[in-house]
Amino acid sequence: MAVFAECPVCHKKQSVRTKLCHCGEDLDKAKRSQKVRFWISYYLPGRKQKRECIGFSIQEARDAEGKRRSQKRENARSGTTRDKTG
Ligand SMILES: [Zn+2]
């Protein structure tokens, strides 16, 4: 599970900690002016990777990531019994 920041210029998705994109865009500045789109990526059962666009706020991205994480935990907990009964 990870949060990615999308460069507004070249649309490369990269770590939110990246300050300068390889294309030369100042991501720190772009984040402050809310030009950077945030994505979360996580794995579904069956090793499927899912990416979701959250929006322009890293706080929302973090919230969404936390929500997904607890959902996953709940699924794992109930899934073990539910799967067998149908
Ligand atoms: Zn870029």
Domain limits, the chain: 2-85
Q: How far is the CA of 27 from the centre of ligand 1 (A)?
A: 8
Ligand 1 ion: Cβ-proximal residues, 5 Å cutoff: 7, 9-10, 21, 23, 25
Sequence-distant (≥ 6) Cβ neighbours of residue 10 within 8 angstroms: 21, 22, 23, 25
Q: What's the alpha-carbon Rg for the chain, to the nearest Å?
A: 16
What are 65-81's pLDDT values in tens digits? 999 888 888 888 776 55
Q: How far is the CA of 12 from the centre of ligand 1 (A)?
A: 6
CA 45, 50, 56, 18 dihedral sign is positive
Q: How far is the CA of 67 from the centre of ligand 1 (A)?
A: 28
Where does residue 18 rank: exposed (0-12), middle (13-18), buried (19+ CB within 10 A)?
middle
What are 17-49's pLDDT values in tens digits? 999 999 999 999 999 999 999 999 988 889 899
